[in-house]
Amino acid sequence: MPLVNAKEMLTKAKKGHYAVGQFNINNLEWTKAILLTAQECNSPVILGVSEGAGKYMCGYKTVVGMVNGMLEELKITVPVALHLDHGSYEGVKACVAAGFSSVMFDGSHYPIEENIAKTKELVALANEKGLSIEAEVGAIGGEEDGVIGQGECADPQECKMIADLGVTMLAAGIGNIHGKYPENWAGLSFETLDAVQQLTGEMPLVLHGGTGIPEDMIKKAISLGVSKINVNTECQLAFAAATREYIEAGKDKSGKGFDPRKLLAPGFEAIKATVKEKMELFGSVNKA
């Protein structure tokens, strides 16, 4: 099945009270692990690509070529969206041209008027090309490609203003953070989420920074209208831990253990296990 935009899968998720996972990709192993797990779980999935990861993978065209090739060769039949994560204005345009099926424009660092003007323009472009588009209000804390922010809470009125521009899904800061959560983290602000949901109605809401949020908070967030949850760091931690274990056990030094197909296998399996666990938690299994 060719790439689809994220609109239908997220509309269904919001109605069905579950969330679709966005898992960020970094290379072939990541992509293959996520696609195979989605197929095994019969779950819709969103592959996230940050601008940094896009650059690392030799550009958006390479990413599109790799993902489209895998969809065909691996006979993937579940809905898959290829989504630019935290895109700049220029990044969104580049991904539209390269063949992504979904984009996020992160104008949260602009004054609200400028965020609205740029989002409006990119919504028109996405609509014209049939892509889904995510916008962000209220910066999400933690490190985003080198930019450190605090766990802010979005202004619900500003969320409504952006939602009314015709975006497909909306990321609102509700005290969530990218990366690992600090010991003294205050938790998600359900008051903010509830207020945003009341003003934005049917709009699927997006929760960034899904790594390390306690399960009960994830479930409550889904019950309050979150239909897309972004997971990135958790797959990285799982991959690193499994690879470390392999090396520390000296397996790369025995037989052909140095073969990259063997060396990277435990990390690959660890990503699969993490993605499966998240799909079960988010309730997207068998929702393809």
Catalytic residues: 85
Find the shortest distance in angstroms from Cβ 282 to Zn ion: 16
Give least dist CB 86 to Zn ion, A.
Answer: 6
CB-count burial class (<10 Å; 0-12, 13-18, 19+) for 264: middle
Q: Which is nearer to Zn ion, 176 or 243 (CB)?
A: 176
- Would you say 136 or 158 has its CB closer to Zn ion? 136
Q: Tell the smallest beta-carbon distance from residue 172 to Zn ion (Å).
A: 12
User: For residues 74, 79, 85 and 91, what is the CA-based torsion angle, rounded to 10 degrees?
Assistant: 80
The residue ranges of DSSP E strands in the chain, in sequence order, are 20-24, 45-50, 80-87, 102-105, 132-137, 142-144, 147-149, 169-172, 205-207, 226-231
Chain residues binding Zn ion by CB under 5 A are: 208
Which backbone phi and psi does 80 adopt, to 5 degrees?
A: -125, 130
Residue nearest to Zn ion (CB): 208
State the nearest-atom distance from the C-beta of 151 to Zn ion, in Å: 12
SS3 147: strand
Pick the closer one to Zn ion by CB: 208 or 228.
Answer: 208
Q: Alpha-carbon distance 284 to 13, whole Å?
A: 8
Of 51 and 158, which CB lies nearer to Zn ion in the complex structure? 51
Alpha-carbon gap, residue 260 to 263, rounded angstroms: 5
